[in-house]
Structure 1
Amino acid sequence: MSTKTRATFTCLILLFLSASLISQVVSRLLPETSSYENHEQWMARYGRVYRDATEKEQRSKVYQDNVQHIQSFNNDIGKTYKLAVNKFADLTNEEFRTQRNRFLAHDCTPSNSAFKYENVTAVPSSMDWRKKGAVTPIKDQGQCGCCWAFSAVAAMEGITQLKTGKLVSLSEQELVDCDTSGVDQGCEGGLMDNAFEFIISNKGLTTESNYPYKGVDGTCNSNEESNNAATITGYEDVPAKSESALLKAVASQPVSVAIDASGSDFQFYSSGVFTGECGTELDHGVTAVGYGTSDDGTKYWLVKNSWGTSWGEEGYIMMQRDVDAKEGICGIAMQASYPTA
């Protein structure tokens, strides 16, 4: 190799190494945003359309702020759970709470009602009612604040399967449209116990296929209201502020629970055992459909939500169990109840 050729070859190597080093430096300096969609891509994915350019610009700013929060959170390797960009990413946390969370919390005075699982002395180390065939697929309440109806229906679907051996998807829309003479007010909020009371007085509930979900308040269809596919005989409240009592109940059947789901971490929860900070201002109705222990030894409740499969772990969340606070994480042990049949 001539001296000139050797010099040229050396220069090429140096240039290559320099480019490689520059690339590494730049990659360290740039924020790790490559795994996140830009706002336009996100809009296309979720079919989001805005009124005008002004609204789009406002939503884009909210989206970018949320992405930054999610990215910063996930970079903390000490967390037991992860967040992800989902269909709520263009909503501020206040807007999100207003749209979704309409559980009408009431005074948590200890109930005098019976608790038939009081004397249960042994429960399985884990339970997943999905594997027992007692849980219907994840549903989506949309922008209607009727989480209470989805929670009550999921619990009723569970006890119906346990008693009859048949898993039937029941109608939330019937509750939204027809259970309006008392506390429950459709998309404006309600309570699971009051939903159970309506179902008892109505002598049952029809199927989702007979009375499909619309996601808006409607006029009660009296024909379908009387076309009952499942019934319950009563309901009981789980003793308040007792995770041990709640464990006995969930070991026996799916249970309606109320939680404080107001935090942004709950809004963007994606996977893992949720151990985040939250209060006890109950604002959302969900259903505890099991419990277990994660690989790292963290005990959790398995909770079915009604925000579609694109939220959480295909629509579910694992919430820390056996916490120091007697109310349970996010107040999960404060207002639990279940139907009887």
Structure 2
Amino acid sequence: MATPKALLLAVLGCACFFSAILAARELSDDSAMVVKHERWMAQYNRVYMNDVEKAQRFEVFKANVKFIESFNAASNRKFWLGINQFADLTNDEFRATKTNKGFHPSMARGPTGFRYENVSIDALPMTVDWRAKGAVTPIKNQGQCGCCWAFSAVAAMEGIVKISTGKLFSLSEQELVDCDINGESQGCDGGEMDDAFKFIIKNGGLANESSYPYIAQDGKCKRYKNVATIKGYEDVPANDEAALMKAVANQPVSVAVDGGDRTFQFYSGGVMSGSCGTDLDHGIAAIGYGTASDGTKYWLMKNSWGTTWGENGFLRMEKGIPDKSGMCGLAMQPSYPTE
């Protein structure tokens, strides 16, 4: 029969054995994560100033990867996350560079009219995708400049110009960043789509992107020949997805959303669903709607974070949720330019 001392030694021995196994496993996991980080750095051409910054970024990367893997492992998800170009940024850092940088647009909106008011919902197509109709330019990338508002407004304008004239122009977001500075908009520090439309009307249109290229920072306002114009803009009735559907069936629409959530940061595919906020801090464009294979209805959105984010730069968000403000507040402040 074993003595108490022998039993204690046996227990301690087992504890040490299992601790050693766990330590070895953690070391192995860390080694695998280091390899994953190195491959990610090569994929996105990420270079750090020194070993200290690299070590700090590795810890952020590791935490984000674990969050992504944990999210994707859960059952009954309608969408999934991916290790994209934002994987070494904390959520606070991501918010500071990719959304409106703390800019809060005015919620007060004067009456503009809504030309699609009397359109019958029953008469609308079941699926709309303005890409298939040639009214959407390729995905763009705003970089480190918080001017999502300009990309959203331009995407909506590019759409209505194509619908009205038959010509698709890639228009200049940089012109808005540099020149729309006397209203609410603040260049790379944030802005508002309605304010952009007001500027474009007063400016007599916008230049081609090829003439006035994007530089992802605030610049000095220049004058180039305008290639496209709009005559006005209208606001979609707030908190009314049926009204938004009427508008999107007829043209791409600028939409404001709460885009700072971690799931938004790492969205990779599927129909975004579940809970998210309504702190409107990001501008995108609604370019269609449809129904996924599992029956989930969705809005099709164009973003401005490059093609390595989301579904090659695009996003699907659940449509017709009980909350009248819509997924991430998408139904709160939609608007569109008019020809």
| Fold similarity call, TM over 0.5 | yes
Q: Distance in 1 between matches of 2:265 and 2:251?
A: 27
Q: Distance in 2 between matches of 1:62 and 1:159?
A: 42
In the TM superposition, residue 105 of structure 1 has moved relative to its aligned partner by 3.7
Check whether the contact 1:265–1:276 (CA below 8 A) recurs between aligned residues: no
In the TM superposition, residue 168 of structure 1 has moved relative to its aligned partner by 0.7
**What's 2:250 paired with?**
252
In the TM superposition, residue 112 of structure 1 has moved relative to its aligned partner by 1.8
Higher mean C-alpha displacement, 59-68 vs 179-188: 179-188
**1:152-196 CA deviation, whole Å, 9 max, x = no partner?**
000000000000001110000000111111211110110000000
**What's 1:271 paired with?**
269
**What's 2:178 paired with?**
177
Higher mean C-alpha displacement, 105-114 vs 161-170: 105-114
The alignment's C-alpha RMSD in Å is: 2.0
SS at match of 2:39: helix
In the TM superposition, residue 138 of structure 1 has moved relative to its aligned partner by 0.1
Report whether the alignment pairs 1:65 with 2:66: no
**What's 1:143 paired with?**
144
In the TM superposition, residue 108 of structure 1 has moved relative to its aligned partner by 3.3
SS at match of 1:38: helix
- Aligned pairs for 1:55-134 within 5 A: 55-102=53-100, 104-109=103-108, 111-121=110-120, 122-134=123-135
**What's 1:327 paired with?**
325
Q: Distance in 2 between matches of 1:236 and 1:169?
A: 22
Check whether the contact 1:59–1:90 (CA below 8 A) recurs between aligned residues: yes
**1:115-138 CA deviation, whole Å, 9 max, x = no partner?**
000000021111000001000000
- Aligned pairs for 1:240-319 within 5 A: 240-319=238-317
Q: Distance in 1 between matches of 2:32 and 2:239?
A: 44
In the TM superposition, residue 276 of structure 1 has moved relative to its aligned partner by 3.3
Q: Distance in 2 between matches of 1:36 and 1:182?
A: 47
Return closer, same or farther for 1:166/1:35 CA change in 2, 3 Å cut-off: farther
Return closer, same or farther for 1:274/1:129 CA change in 2, 3 Å cut-off: same
Q: Distance in 1 between matches of 2:230 and 2:135?
A: 15
**What's 2:42 paired with?**
44
**1:75-95 CA deviation, whole Å, 9 max, x = no partner?**
113101010000000000010
- Structure 1 counterpart of 2:221, which letter? C
Structure 1 length-normalised TM: 0.88
Q: Which runs of 5+ in 2 are unaligned?
A: 1-24
SS at match of 1:174: helix
Check whether the contact 2:33–2:62 (CA below 8 A) recurs between aligned residues: no
Instruction: Give percent identity, aligned residues only.
Output: 59
- Aligned pairs for 1:220-231 within 5 A: 220-222=221-223, 224=224, 227-231=225-229
- Structure 2 counterpart of 1:141, which letter? Q
In the TM superposition, residue 307 of structure 1 has moved relative to its aligned partner by 0.1
Return closer, same or farther for 1:108/1:180 CA change in 2, 3 Å cut-off: closer
Structure 2 length-normalised TM: 0.88
Q: Distance in 1 between matches of 2:331 and 2:111?
A: 16
Q: Distance in 2 between matches of 1:184 and 1:43?
A: 34
- Runs of 4+ aligned residues of structure 1 deviating over 3 Å after TM superposition are 33-37, 103-111
SS at match of 2:228: coil
Q: Which runs of 5+ in 1 are unaligned?
A: 1-26
SS at match of 2:207: coil
